[in-house]
Structure formats: structure tokens, C-alpha cells
């Protein structure tokens, strides 16, 4: 998700964000298979530096790529960014087109709905949140519990409805269930709360600060989960099944030992180049075949492998790398990492 972007960053902060964005761009050139998540991080840093035109250039470059993995997310980020520097009409056009494509991931919906909310387009924001919930939350999840990744849709819609003064409905009841703070949502999202910040009563001010901290903590937990740059690992049984079914992949995986060695080597290279937040995702043949089908491609296509890894990471399947030296090695050998692939790390 996109980070909060201050309107006027300090000059030193601006320079730091530009430097980090440029470093991420260089890293993306070195590792094109991981370019998309790296360039999205770079664009976020340009936004934090208030260099929004450079952020838009990165979004445009990603959308022009034939290998783009998540165009809906990129369009949502581009629209939100454009609106912040005076391109409201273009941003609205992108949002309209995005809603028409009905993406199946909640993140683009949250970004565009919150952008509408922040610019006082409350009716449109409410329509967008509602449309997303009706599309993405089936009746079974409404009964058993809405998944955590979709909570921002519920909470955002509840917040907008409080601003509009709209009575509760069944979605608001689900939002109350999703609320993980000790403060009731009606209180958290009460527009009159902001008035109390002008109070001269220290107790009232302290109570309001506590409520704001609780709300901010929930928001950050739900929306600020950057997924790691991840390398794909096939366990031995899955590897054998994969190569037997798709022998063309031997060009990428000449042997199982070489596959494991390549994983550790790639992660160490990324780490030495300054890339943070690294991880490993574990593949399975059925899930890879389903991914290939969703991309209208063949599992024999080696270019799908990094895209598959990025998709798994974006879905929260990555395990952080490196593990502790005395923890089990990521390869599944049963040995400690320090005595296995972590030797000499």
C-alpha cells in the first residue's frame, strides 16, 4: 500500500527519499524479474519527496510493460498521485475505468476510495467502497467472518457513512465486528471528535489522543504491509513433479541442488546491493498451473516464475530471509540455517 505523503517534506527528508528512490531504480535494472515491486517502492519515495511527476513516470513505465503483474494496483496509485498535483480530471477518468474493470484485489479499491474521500467526494467514495464489498465479499464470508485483507473496505465505508450521517446497515455491523481497537467505531469515526482537539481540558485532549493512536495503529496494520522481494523455492517433491510435468523448466532449474544454491545466492546478492525486506515463497505445482492459466500462458514459460513468486509474496506467503542461525533452514533439510545454507553468512 502507498504510504502517507506529507504535503511539504523537509528538505533533508526530500533528498533522502529521492536518493532511496534512485537506488531502488538501479536495483530494478539489476534484477528485472523483481522490477515491479521495486519500482512501486521507488514511486512511493518520490511521492514522499513531493516529486510526483517522477512517480507518475514510473507508474506509466510499469503500465506500458508487457510483463506488468498488477495493473489495477498501479492505476490506482497513479490516480491518487495525479490528484495530489492538480490532475483531477485525469485521476477521475482512471478511477472510473478502474471501477469498470472490477479488480478482484481489495487494495486498488481502497486506494481510489480513500483518494475520493480525501478530496471530499464522499458520495463517490461511499459508492466505491460499497461496490467493492459487494464484489469481493461473498455471503459465506459475511457469515463466517470477513478476511483481514478486506477490513479496510469495511472500515473505510463506515468512516465515510459517519461523515455523511447515514444510518447503520449490515455492512456497518460487519465493520463493527472487524474493529480490533478498544474504541467503538462510531466513536472513532465521529466527525465531531476533531472538535475536542480544541478543548482546553487536558483530560479531554488526552482521551482524544488515545483514540487517535488506536485508530492510527489499526490503519497502519491493515494498510501498510509492504510485501517482500521474494525468491521462489520448490520443495524437493514439488520440484520433481514440476520438472516431470514441464521439462522445459530444466533451463531454469538444471538440478535441485543448483536450485537451492541459486536461492541463497540471489538473496545474498540482493542483500549486498542494499535491498531490504527479502523473503522466500514456496511454490506448489497446482498453484503454479492455476497461475499460468490465469495469465493465459503455459507453465513451461520461465518468465512466469518471477511473476508467480511476486504474486505469492503479495498474498502474504513469504517467509522472511535470512532466518536466525539456529533456526531451521528454509530449504527444509531439518538442519539449522547456520549449519546448512547459512554457512559463512
Strands of the sheet with 229-233, listed across from one edge: 229-233, 278-282, 319-320
Q: Give per-residue pLDDT as tens, 264-323.
A: 999 999 888 888 889 999 999 988 888 888 778 899 999 899 988 988 887 778 888 999
Map 185-222 to HEC letters: HHHHCCHHHHHHHHCCCHHHHHHHHHHHHHHHHHHHHH
Q: Give per-residue pLDDT as tens, 100-133.
A: 999 999 999 999 999 999 888 999 999 999 999 9
Neighbours of 343 (CB within 10 A): 12
Three-class secondary structure of residue 245 per DSSP: helix
Residue written as cell 530444466? Answer: 250
Dihedral sign, CA of 189, 192, 197, 201? negative
* Eight-state DSSP code of residue 283: -
d(CA 124, CA 102): 15
Q: How confident is residue 5, by pLDDT bands cut at 50, 70 and 90?
A: very low
Where residue 344 falls (left for φ over 0; alpha for ψ -120 to 50; beta otherwise) is left
d(CA 137, CA 276): 33
Q: How confident is residue 224, by pLDDT bands cut at 50, 70 and 90?
A: very low
* Percent of the chain at pLDDT exceeding 90: 54
Q: Give per-residue pLDDT as tens, 129-185.
A: 999 999 999 999 988 889 988 999 999 999 999 888 889 999 999 999 988 877 788
Does residue 85 have a pLDDT over 80? yes
- Phi–psi pair at 8, nearest 5 degrees: -130, 80
| pTM: predicted TM-score of the whole model, two decimal places | 0.57
Three cell numbers at 127?
459508492
d(CA 155, CA 129): 9
Does residue 248 have a pLDDT over 50? yes
Dihedral sign, CA of 41, 30, 265, 17? negative
Contact 280, 263 (CB under 8 A): yes
* Percent of the chain at pLDDT exceeding 70: 86
Which residue segments constitute the domains of the chain, with CATH numbers given? 11-190+197-223 (1.25.40), 229-339 (no CATH)
Residue written as cell 521462489? Answer: 232
CB proximity list for 80: less than 8 A, separation 6 or greater: 2, 91, 111, 112, 114, 115
Strand ranges for the chain from DSSP E: 229-233, 278-282, 319-320
Q: Give per-residue pLDDT as tens, 37-61.
A: 999 999 999 999 999 999 999 999 9
d(CA 232, CA 317): 11
d(CA 204, CA 196): 7
d(CA 195, CA 216): 18
- Among 140, 134, 136, residue whose Cα is nearest residue 171: 134
Bridge partners of 283, per DSSP, are none
Amino acid at each position: 500500500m502507498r504510504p502517507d505523503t506529507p504535503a511539504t517534506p523537509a528538505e533533508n527528508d526530500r533528498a533522502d527519499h529521492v536518493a532511496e528512490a534512485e537506488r531502488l531504480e538501479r536495483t530494478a535494472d539489476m534484477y528485472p524479474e523483481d522490477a515491479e515491486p521495486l519500482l512501486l517502492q521507488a514511486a512511493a519515495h518520490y511521492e514522499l519527496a513531493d516529486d510526483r511527476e517522477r512517480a507518475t513516470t514510473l507508474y506509466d513505465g510499469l503500465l506500458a510493460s508487457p510483463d506488468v503483474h498488477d495493473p489495477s494496483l498501479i492505476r490506482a496509485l497513479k490516480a491518487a498521485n495525479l490528484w495530489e498535483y492538480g490532475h483531477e480530471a485525469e485521476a477521475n477518468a482512471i478511477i472510473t475505468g478502474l471501477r469498470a474493470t472490477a479488480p478482484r484485489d481489495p487494495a486498488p479499491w481502497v486506494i481510489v476510495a480513500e483518494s475520493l474521500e480525501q478530496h471530499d467526494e464522499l458520495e463517490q467514495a461511499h459508492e466505491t467502497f460499497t461496490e467493492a464489498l459487494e464484489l469481493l465479499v461473498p455471503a459465506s464470508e459475511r457469515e463466517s467472518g470477513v478476511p483481514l485483507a478486506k477490513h479496510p473496505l469495511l472500515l473505510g465505508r463506515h468512516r465515510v457513512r459517519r461523515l455523511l450521517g447515514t444510518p447503520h446497515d449490515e455492512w456497518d455491523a460487519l465493520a463493527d465486528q472487524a474493529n480490533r481497537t478498544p474504541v467503538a467505531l462510531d466513536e472513532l469515526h465521529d466527525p465531531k471528535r476533531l472538535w475536542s482537539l480544541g478543548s482546553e481540558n487536558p483530560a479531554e485532549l488526552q482521551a482524544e489522543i488515545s483514540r487517535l493512536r488506536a485508530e492510527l495503529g489499526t490503519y497502519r496494520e491493515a494498510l501498510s504491509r509492504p510485501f517482500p522481494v521474494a525468491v521462489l523455492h520448490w520443495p524437493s517433491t514439488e520440484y520433481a513433479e514440476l520438472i516431470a510435468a514441464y521439462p522445459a523448466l530444466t533451463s531454469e532449474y538444471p538440478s535441485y541442488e543448483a536450485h537451492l544454491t541459486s536461492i541463497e545466492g540471489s538473496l545474498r546478492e540482493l542483500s549486498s546491493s542494499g535491498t531490504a525486506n527479502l523473503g522466500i515463497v514456496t511454490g506448489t505445482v497446482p498453484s503454479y498451473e492455476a497461475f499460468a492459466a490465469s495469465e493465459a500462458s503455459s507453465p513451461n514459460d520461465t518468465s512466469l516464475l518471477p511473476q508467480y513468486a511476486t504474486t505469492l509474496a503479495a498474498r502474504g506467503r513469504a517467509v522472511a530471509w535470512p532466518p536466525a542461525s539456529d533456526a531451521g533452514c528454509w530449504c527444509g533439510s531439518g538442519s539449522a540455517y547456520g549449519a546448512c545454507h547459512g554457512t559463512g553468512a
